[in-house]
């Protein structure tokens, strides 16, 4: 299958590209390389030639309809995976304009071009942020979606648009609501690199490596046992694998429709617990200090992934937080020794 991977040079996107190649599919990557990396794609494309696959990178902007139309006009595409969007909860609170514009216009452009080219399968990168501050844990897909941030709101709107496209244009789509994707490919050549880095596990490891000042813990007055927020960390390779299963799921669907699935491990860890795990894995102390809460952070987000298990056949293979952190630690140490 030829799969368009929008945002394929990013953190989760590049792990996806590697999984697609492993599974014998041809990724067509579309990325503006604003936050994605050339080196990530070089690594992800490795092994394609041996399989007789010819992956490609098309540099363009999803916010430019001309670029997106061009993409579909010039090559056959069987399915679309849409990773192209900003995804920082607190940034979205400060810059709603960037998030509503980027997420909505980008998704509408992609849907318009895909529909024009009669591509009827789309997998969308959604987020736990669509749930806002849920009252029940673990969170099931049937829980109300009441986002508390522009990132969550805009992403929820895209889910609604996908649902409407099923009715109007016969689209089959899946939204994968990621919880906290983390870790790095065990091969050691693909991992997380954001500028600036805002995510917890990379920041903990960078503080240990002395690459950043002490870790700031954003709030220790949350209604949780140790006062710091609890999140569900899910291995990035498992997140990518969920998309392959979602592709099979879409192929099996006799009719157009939209489905949402939580992609999380089902277990929650506080910021302090993540720090303790990082200390176990690295054998080093994390230098840290407490700081104010970050806007838009709910106290607890933990997935029920039962629906994904039942309907997609998805189960995370890497279930230990220590193992997730170990993979990230290998990656950051290796990067510190030989930056791209
Ligand atoms: N945190 C710190 N210090 C840091 C970084 C993070 O204390 O330097 C805390 C945050 O306050 C939060 C937790 O660690 O409580 C996790 O924060 P991340 O930034 O790693 O992740 P988020 O939970 O904010 O967001 C991630 C993705 C979003 C997605 C969300 C769903 O970035 O795209 O998970 O749970 F929507």
Is the shortest distance between the CB of 180 and ligand 1 below 6 Å? yes
Give the span between the Cα atoms of 256 and 158, in whole angstroms. 17
- The 3-state DSSP class for residue 82 equals strand
Give the span between the Cα atoms of 65 and 106, in whole angstroms. 8
List CB contacts of 100: < 8 A, sequence separation 6 or more: 150, 153, 154
Question: Which parts of the chain are beta strand (E)?
Answer: 2-6, 26-31, 56-59, 79-82, 121-127, 172-178, 180-182, 215-218, 230-231, 233-235, 257-263, 269-270, 288-291
Give the span between the Cα atoms of 175 and 249, in whole angstroms. 12
- Which of 196, 214, 234, 297 has most ligand 1 atoms within 8 Å of its beta carbon, as the pocket-test mutant? 297
Q: What are phi and psi of 23, to 5 degrees?
A: -85, 0
pLDDT tens digits, 221-247? 999 999 999 999 999 999 999 999 999
Nearest CA to ligand 1 atom 19: 199
Question: Which atom of ligand 1 is the closest one to the Cα of 90?
Answer: 24
Is the shortest distance between the CB of 203 and ligand 1 below 6 Å? yes
What pLDDT is attached to residue 336? 81
Answer whether 301's CB lies under 8 Å from 179's CB. yes
Distance 103 CA to ligand 1 centre (A): 19
Confidence of residue 337 (pLDDT cuts 50, 70, 90): confident
Q: How far, in Å, are 39, 160, 208, 274 from residue 127 at the CA level?
A: 26, 14, 29, 21
What pLDDT is attached to residue 197? 93
Distance 290 CA to ligand 1 centre (A): 15
pLDDT tens digits, 81-96? 999 889 999 999 999 9
Query: Taking 90 as the threshold, does the pLDDT of residue 338 lie above it?
Result: no
Which among 11, 99, 151, 178 is annotated as catalytic? Answer: 151
The mean of the pLDDT values for the chain is 97
Give the span between the Cα atoms of 221 and 231, in whole angstroms. 16
pLDDT tens digits, 21-30? 999 999 999 9
Global pTM value: 0.98
Is the shortest distance between the CB of 163 and ligand 1 below 6 Å? no
Q: What is the rounded average pLDDT of the residues 288-294?
A: 98
What pLDDT is attached to residue 321? 98
Distance 213 CA to ligand 1 centre (A): 18
Report CA Rg, the chain.
19
pLDDT tens digits, 149-170? 999 999 999 999 999 999 999 9
Percent of the chain scoring above 90 in pLDDT: 96
- Which of 233, 294, 305 has most ligand 1 atoms within 8 Å of its beta carbon, as the pocket-test mutant? 294
Question: Which atom of ligand 1 is the closest one to the Cα of 274?
Answer: 14
Q: How far, in Å, are 43, 182, 193, 196, 248 from residue 39 at the CA level?
A: 6, 19, 11, 18, 29
Q: What is the rounded average pLDDT of the residues 115-121?
A: 97
Give the span between the Cα atoms of 150 and 143, in whole angstroms. 19
Confidence of residue 31 (pLDDT cuts 50, 70, 90): very high
What pLDDT is attached to residue 292? 98
Domains along the chain with CATH numbers: 2-183+233-264 (3.40.50.720), 200-230+267-310+316-337 (3.90.25.10)
* Residue 323 CB neighbours (<10 A): 16
Question: 151 catalytic, yes or no?
Answer: yes
Distance 200 CA to ligand 1 centre (A): 6
């Amino acid at each position: 299958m030829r799969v368009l991977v929008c945002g394929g040079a990013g953190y989760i996107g590049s792990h996806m590209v590697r999984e697609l190649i492993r599974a014998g599919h041809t990724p067509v990557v579309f990325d503006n390389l604003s936050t994605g990396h050339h080196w990530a794609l070089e690594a992800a494309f490795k092994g394609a030639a041996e399989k007789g696959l010819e992956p490609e990178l098309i540099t363009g902007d999803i916010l430019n309809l001309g670029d997106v139309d061009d993409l579909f006009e010039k090559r056959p595409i069987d399915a679309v995976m849409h990773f192209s969007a900003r995804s920082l909860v607190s940034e979205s609170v400060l810059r709603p304009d960037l998030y509503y514009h980027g997420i909505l216009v980008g998704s509408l452009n992609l849907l318009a071009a895909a529909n024009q080219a009669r591509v009827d399968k789309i997998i969308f990168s959604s987020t736990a942020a669509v749930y806002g501050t849920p009252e029940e844990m673990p969170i099931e897909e049937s829980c109300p979606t009441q986002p508390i941030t522009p990132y969550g709101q805009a992403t929820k709107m895209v889910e609604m648009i996908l649902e409407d496209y099923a009715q109007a244009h016969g689209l089959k789509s899946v939204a994968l609501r990621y919880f906290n994707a983390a870790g790095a490919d065990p091969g050691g050549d693909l991992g997380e690199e954001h500028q600036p880095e805002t995510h917890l596990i990379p920041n903990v490891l960078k503080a240990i490596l002395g690459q950043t000042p002490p870790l700031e813990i954003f709030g220790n007055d949350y209604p949780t046992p140790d006062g710091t927020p609890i999140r569900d960390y899910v291995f990035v390779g498992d997140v990518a694998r969920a998309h392959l299963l979602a592709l099979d799921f879409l192929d099996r669907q006799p009719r157009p429709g939209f489905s949402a699935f939580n992609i999380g491990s089902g277990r929650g860890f506080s910021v302090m617990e993540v720090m303790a795990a990082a200390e176990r894995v690295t054998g080093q102390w994390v230098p840290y200090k407490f700081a104010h809460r970050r806007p838009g952070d709910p106290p607890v987000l933990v997935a029920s992934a039962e629906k994904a298990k039942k309907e997609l056949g998805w189960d995370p293979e890497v279930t230990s937080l220590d193992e997730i952190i170990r993979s990230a630690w290998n990656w950051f140490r290796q990067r510190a020794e030989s930056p791209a």
